[in-house]
A and B are shown apart, each in its own frame.
Chain A
Amino acid sequence: MNFLLYPLTLVTFFPLLGVLVLLFLKPEQKTAARWVALITSLITFAISIGVLVQFNPANPDLQLVIDLPWIQMAGWDISFYMGVDGLSILLLLLTTFLTPISILSTWTAVDDRVKEFMIFFLLLELGMVGVFLAQDLFLFYIFWEFTLVPMYFLIGIWGGGRRMYAAVKFFLYTMAGSILMLLAILWLGIYGGTFSVPDLIAKGGIPGDIQLWLFIAFAAAFAIKVPMWPLHSWLPDAHVEAPTAGSVILAGVLLKMGTYGFVRFNIPLFPQAALQAAPWIAALAVIGILYGAMVSYPQQDVKKLVAYSSVSHLGFVMLGLFALNPQGIQGGILQMVNHGLSTGALFLIVGMIYERRHTRDMDKFGGLWKVMPIYGTLTLIVALSSMGLPGLNGFVGEFTILLGAWDAGQAGGALGSYWFAALAALGVILAAVYMLYMFQKLFLGPVDKEENRSLKDINWREIGTLIPLLVLIFWIGLYPKPFFTLMAPTVDKLVAALQTAALAMH
């Protein structure tokens, strides 16, 4: 049992305890199931705070490492290797932070098969945390695929009208990309004699053309997950059909697994390929930013609008990561967190109105600010955060990303042209257009629909789900230094490695 007492294994597998307790509950003990899940996820969050306390921000390397031999035969060296560093600590915290909030948001929204819902939810948390902590490619792949299963059921059982279609599409798309990644993982394992990522990075020396192929194979899996334009087609379906909590986690964490994969595997494992591919990825990212923003604008379904806005926002993240300089990567990682907070909050908000009106058609609303003033105000703050108003979190991330991208646009930079940053900055205008349009359609104007007149403002539980997000929205907006401090040494090390690779190329 010692194995479970390492901080990282504890935080990963603690949800299993909750699952175990849930299994003993009767299906009709709904409230108990909710409480068990909530408390489990809260304790998991507390454990992750413990991890943060033990984490030394000045150390750029993996910390709290567990490296146990696992499957070792016939020249295969697979180990149970977990560790946390500046790239993953924030995402770990984001995951454990968003899970209790999502569970709290389902309090009244999910009333059917509560026990199973909570079990899947906790299993999902386990998988996501595992993805961010695993340092062995094989272990990573297991967690990566594992997350699909609970999410598949969350969408497929508790989803909307076309839930099976969306669930299957979600599952198949992610699987399709993962297969290529699996091949690349196997190649690396055979080539390097180990699946441990730090060892593979240290070993290096993968020939340039093979690097590119491996890069593409990994990128295929991650780009679908992000999702990068034009592989985003599964996202609106999954978001629209998923239950609110599922959307929150999907946007908040699952998509980040893609971007995280790029920065954890693609860039350090294949630095030369990353340098070669940077302008191409950045081009796709910029297209995604503008395309996502433009496509968001005419949507009728609020959830779809938010889903497409994710394409735009994650375009920013990708642009930042592939600026391949400290500002870009740090901004990219911070923007992953920001997007999790803002878009998570937006999905919660959409869920609240859906629970009341059972529609998400923007034409059915109008003037809600008058009927639901608190709700309106909180929505406004979240919308502003999402469109990058300075002083709120979105701006800090977007600005650092764009600054990094602009810097990378100089001669000798990774991107080689200012156009990437300049066009991406246009996305800032377009974000205001669709976000304000949404806000206007829902909240402004007269209350001209009879059904909206008697809507109740949000209650304390609902406020309670939003307040933690808002606190962070302001915190990151006004004082992001602690967040940058956490990741800076690791990112600097990564950038230094990239520079070495760039020198080796010339």
Chain B
Amino acid sequence: MLLSEGASAGPQFFYLVPWVVFLPLIGLLINVIFGGRLSEKLIGTIASTATGLAFVVAVLLAVSLVGHPEGATVTLADWIISGDLQVSWGFQVDTLSTTMMLVVAGVGTLIHIYAIGYMHDDVRHHGDPSRYRRFFVFFNLFILTMMVLVSADNYLMLFVGWEGVGLCSYLLIGFWYDKGEKGIGNALAGKKAFVTNRIGDFGFLLAAFTMFAMFRTFNFEDVFRQIPEVAELLPVGILMITLFMLLGVAGKSAQIPLYVWLPDAMAGPTPVSALIHAATMVTAGVYLVARSFPLYAVVPSAQNTVALVGAATALFAGTIAVAQFDIKKVLAYSTISQLGFMVAAVGMGAVVAGMFHLVTHAFFKALLFLSAGSVIQGIERGEHDVEHNSKSKKSVKAHAGQHFDPQDMRNMGGLRKRMKITFWVYLIGAIALAGIPPLAGFWSKDEILLEASHLSPTVYYLLTAAAFLTAFYMGRQVLMVFFGESRSEAAAHASESGPVMTVPLMILAAFSALGGLLNLPWTHTFGHWLEHTVKIEEAVQEIALGEEAAVKFDPVVAGISTGLALIAVVLAWYVYDRRYKRMLELPPAKRPDDPLRGTLGPVFRLLENKYWVDELYWMVILNPYIALSRFLAEQVDWRFWHDWFHDRVITRGFNLLARVLSVQIDLGVIDAIANWLGAATQRGAERLRQIQTGYVRNYALSVFLGVIIILGYLILR
């Protein structure tokens, strides 16, 4: 079972690794089977405990790895055995997978605990408390599938987790499947996520086929071992694998052109957005590229493509985030943008930097989402208070007189005073994301920028611009939400959330603030930790871009990025504090909802409408597909093939033939002959029967005559 038997010192718990999957499974099963009789608290506790225990296992694995950095693989059972296709349920424990396990289970546990409080209110706000259990079942299912994804020792088992998390994402985005636009909006968002991910998975599948055709295995180690030979023989094959895989990455990690599902995914409850659509699932693509680093290392053109896709996404999504009003949509586009950073990093071969950003991003983005959830529920409580306290039963006024949207930042403002804890943790998260030292985001983002400045100038410029935008839209968001005057009565009556929600927030805030310590440029702890896994074969090393290039810290790069971030924050303050206050002097009818609307004009509309990419996809792909399938189903298959060809041509043709045969041939020829025979017989009989007189003697006479004739014949012959 264990490959490394007592190689070096230290306790060793590698055999525990399947439990990272089994523990959430047990939690899930308990809640499925007995959940109906358990209280909400207990359900939440069971689910959180299951995840927490998985975290403990992950910690034990990490501890073991300190003593045995080479890790181990634990094979549980065979899976698909068909010809030379041999795939097993095998778990890989190494520094890379354990890092992911720690993030998934660690952040996951905190979000589980937070969700105990959040979902308590959420199910009541949406009016269906029975779904509380379902939420935690899905949540545990997600942890389970995510663990399968990160702990697999082969690509196919990874794919099980890969699609499994997609399923959980679908289920949780559509958690309030009877809500949303026209009652079906959330369900549609879930479907969009699933189908878009499936497009990515199509790429993953093709990559898997190519891989098997060339390597005859899916096992990480076996594949990587053969890379030098295969790379010499068929470099195009590896290029194909990596590019197909990129499509999968673009689907799962929301990169251009498949990022469109992630903003819609915000239809899910906020803990879902935090756990799945910010901290863990969406980083699966980054993990995949990091895991497949040896493959990418031998095809620089694939690396460049990945890096450019990531960098372009980072900037593209950053621009959209500037013009969004939904608090979660801003964070969603920010997530896409940050994922772009990570993908660019791992694409360039800067695996450590990418993974480092993945970890810190998991902290602060989870924090931001959860705080946003706290804000949203604060507003909802405010709305509730206003509706119940004012006897006139007037509903809360929304900015445009429509249905009140508690997620719209235009309905917020001034929450700083009403939700103190949330404000502070949000601020920490925002600063960390903006990349202002000394918080976590600065260190990880800086490392990516540093690598980019060495490896690819284009990527560097794109990412730097994106970093500037990051600081700007986060400044805008904090100012719109927490500063200034309350822009709605609900915001004015908002209240702080309970400790079950704020305590996880504070823990995450601490991590967001201090996460940078993991990998300070002077110590490179995280880098050394990952080195054990992210190493490439000697032969390949020359081809690979020098990740090891002795870059420690470049004050110029750090200075530029920090300076830009500070400028962006000041700009945001100028626009959303100064200009906004001046804007308030205008009469309400003429007042724009965003100070930038006037300044940027059509550009702002372009950004607000997300470059109309969704509409473009509808026009170019979805509508033609629907039209084509309708045409095929209704015209081709039914009207042409079923009705016309089969019921008309074949049936009518047959009927026509049958009629010709029956009328012309059968009646005209065969029947006619038979009828004529009958008629002739009848006419003959007509005459002959006259002989029958009925007199016995006539008959006797003919008998005698007959006898005489016969006798005569006998005698005379």
Q: Which residues of B136-181 have CB atoms within 8 Å of chain A's CB atoms?
A: 156, 159-160, 162-164, 167, 170, 174, 177-179
Choose, from A52-60, A109-117, A213-221, A438-446, the stretch at the interface. Answer: A438-446
Q: Which residues of B187-228 have CB atoms within 8 Å of chain A's CB atoms?
A: 187-188, 191, 194-195, 198-199, 201-202, 205-206, 208-210, 212-213
Q: A390-B159, A481-B79 are in contact. Are A233 and B633 (CB under 8 A)?
A: no
Quick check: is A164 within 8 A (CB to CB) of the other chain? no
Quick check: is B325 within 8 A (CB to CB) of the other chain? no
Closest Cβ of chain B to A484, distance in Å, is: 5
B205 adjacent to A484 (CB under 8 Å):
no
Most buried by A among B156, B187, B194, B625: B187
Choose, from B80-88, B291-299, B316-324, the stretch at the interface. Answer: B80-88
A391 adjacent to B202 (CB under 8 Å):
no
- Complex CA gap A326/B81 in Å reads 11
Closest Cβ of chain B to A223, distance in Å, is: 15
- Complex CA gap A299/B626 in Å reads 11
B626 adjacent to A370 (CB under 8 Å):
no
Quick check: is A298 within 8 A (CB to CB) of the other chain? yes
B77 adjacent to A479 (CB under 8 Å):
yes
Quick check: is A330 within 8 A (CB to CB) of the other chain? yes
B191 adjacent to A440 (CB under 8 Å):
yes
* Residue of A291, A391, A484 touching B160 (CB-CB under 8 A): A391
Closest Cβ of chain B to A437, distance in Å, is: 7
* Residue of A370, A429, A446, A492 touching B198 (CB-CB under 8 A): A429
Choose, from B389-397, B432-440, B634-642, the stretch at the interface. Answer: B634-642
Closest Cβ of chain A to B316, distance in Å, is: 24
Closest to A370 in B: B178
Closest to B145 in A: A391
* Residue of A326, A428, A444 touching B187 (CB-CB under 8 A): A444
Quick check: is B609 within 8 A (CB to CB) of the other chain? no
Quick check: is A200 within 8 A (CB to CB) of the other chain? no
Quick check: is B538 within 8 A (CB to CB) of the other chain? no
Closest Cβ of chain A to B635, distance in Å, is: 11
Quick check: is A103 within 8 A (CB to CB) of the other chain? no
A425 adjacent to B202 (CB under 8 Å):
yes
- Complex CA gap A485/B80 in Å reads 10
Q: A295-B637, A440-B191 are in contact. Are A432 and B198 (CB under 8 A)?
A: yes
- Complex CA gap A428/B204 in Å reads 12
Closest to B244 in A: A422
Closest Cβ of chain A to B710, distance in Å, is: 47
- Complex CA gap A330/B80 in Å reads 11
Most buried by A among B82, B170, B641: B82
Chain A neighbourhood of B85, CB < 8 A = 327, 400, 403
B633 adjacent to A294 (CB under 8 Å):
yes
A444 adjacent to B629 (CB under 8 Å):
no
Chain B neighbourhood of A481, CB < 8 A = 77-81
Closest to B148 in A: A391
Q: Which residues of B452-490 have CB atoms within 8 Å of chain A's CB atoms?
A: none
- Complex CA gap A345/B328 in Å reads 39
Chain B neighbourhood of A421, CB < 8 A = 209
A440 adjacent to B633 (CB under 8 Å):
no
- Complex CA gap A326/B212 in Å reads 14
Q: Which residues of A433-459 have CB atoms within 8 Å of chain B's CB atoms?
A: 433, 436-437, 440, 443-448
- Complex CA gap A402/B128 in Å reads 43
Chain A neighbourhood of B78, CB < 8 A = 479, 481
Chain A neighbourhood of B630, CB < 8 A = 298
Quick check: is B184 within 8 A (CB to CB) of the other chain? yes
A407 adjacent to B163 (CB under 8 Å):
no
Q: A402-B205, A403-B85 are in contact. Are A396 and B80 (CB under 8 A)?
A: yes
Q: A233-B641, A233-B646, A447-B178 are in contact. Are A330 and B83 (CB under 8 A)?
A: yes
Closest Cβ of chain A to B207, distance in Å, is: 11
Q: A406-B212, A410-B213, A440-B187 are in contact. Are A295 and B633 (CB under 8 A)?
A: yes
- Complex CA gap A428/B164 in Å reads 15
Closest to A388 in B: B163
Quick check: is B668 within 8 A (CB to CB) of the other chain? no
B184 adjacent to A444 (CB under 8 Å):
yes
A437 adjacent to B79 (CB under 8 Å):
no
- A: number of interface residues (CB 8 Å): 59
Chain B neighbourhood of A400, CB < 8 A = 80, 82, 85
Closest Cβ of chain A to B110, distance in Å, is: 27
- Complex CA gap A463/B296 in Å reads 49
Quick check: is B183 within 8 A (CB to CB) of the other chain? yes
Binary CB contact string for chain A from 144 to 169 against chain B (1 if under 8 A, 0 otherwise): 00000000000000000000000001
B202 adjacent to A428 (CB under 8 Å):
yes
Binary CB contact string for chain A from 277 to 301 against chain B (1 if under 8 A, 0 otherwise): 0000000000000010011111100
Chain A neighbourhood of B183, CB < 8 A = 445-446, 448
Closest Cβ of chain B to A142, distance in Å, is: 27
Quick check: is A384 within 8 A (CB to CB) of the other chain? yes
A403 adjacent to B629 (CB under 8 Å):
no
B188 adjacent to A440 (CB under 8 Å):
yes
B177 adjacent to A445 (CB under 8 Å):
yes
Q: A428-B205, A432-B194, A432-B198 are in contact. Are A440 and B629 (CB under 8 A)?
A: no
* Residue of B128, B201, B212, B634 touching A428 (CB-CB under 8 A): B201
- Complex CA gap A448/B184 in Å reads 11
* Residue of B184, B205, B633 touching A445 (CB-CB under 8 A): B184
B79 adjacent to A444 (CB under 8 Å):
no
Quick check: is A83 within 8 A (CB to CB) of the other chain? no
Chain A neighbourhood of B660, CB < 8 A = none
A429 adjacent to B199 (CB under 8 Å):
yes
B633 adjacent to A425 (CB under 8 Å):
no
- Complex CA gap A331/B205 in Å reads 16
- Complex CA gap A383/B286 in Å reads 29
Quick check: is A230 within 8 A (CB to CB) of the other chain? yes
Closest Cβ of chain A to B191, distance in Å, is: 5
* Residue of B79, B205, B634 touching A425 (CB-CB under 8 A): B205
Chain B neighbourhood of A331, CB < 8 A = 82
- Complex CA gap A421/B202 in Å reads 11
Chain B neighbourhood of A297, CB < 8 A = 626, 629, 633
Closest to A369 in B: B177
Closest Cβ of chain B to A395, distance in Å, is: 8
B195 adjacent to A429 (CB under 8 Å):
yes
Closest to B627 in A: A298
B82 adjacent to A391 (CB under 8 Å):
no
- Complex CA gap A274/B83 in Å reads 20
B164 adjacent to A480 (CB under 8 Å):
no
Quick check: is A319 within 8 A (CB to CB) of the other chain? no
28 residue pairs of the A-B complex, CB under 8 angstroms, read A169-B646, A233-B641, A294-B633, A297-B626, A298-B626, A327-B82, A367-B177, A389-B167, A390-B156, A395-B160, A400-B85, A403-B208, A406-B210, A406-B213, A407-B213, A428-B198, A428-B205, A429-B195, A429-B201, A432-B194, A432-B198, A436-B195, A440-B187, A440-B188, A444-B178, A446-B184, A480-B79, A481-B81
Contacts A367-B178, A480-B80, A492-B83 given; 10 further ones with Cβ under 8 A?
Answer: A236-B642, A295-B637, A389-B163, A390-B160, A390-B163, A426-B202, A428-B205, A445-B183, A446-B178, A478-B79
Nearest 8 interchain pairs by C-beta: A326-B83, A444-B187, A406-B209, A446-B183, A390-B160, A444-B177, A294-B629, A445-B184
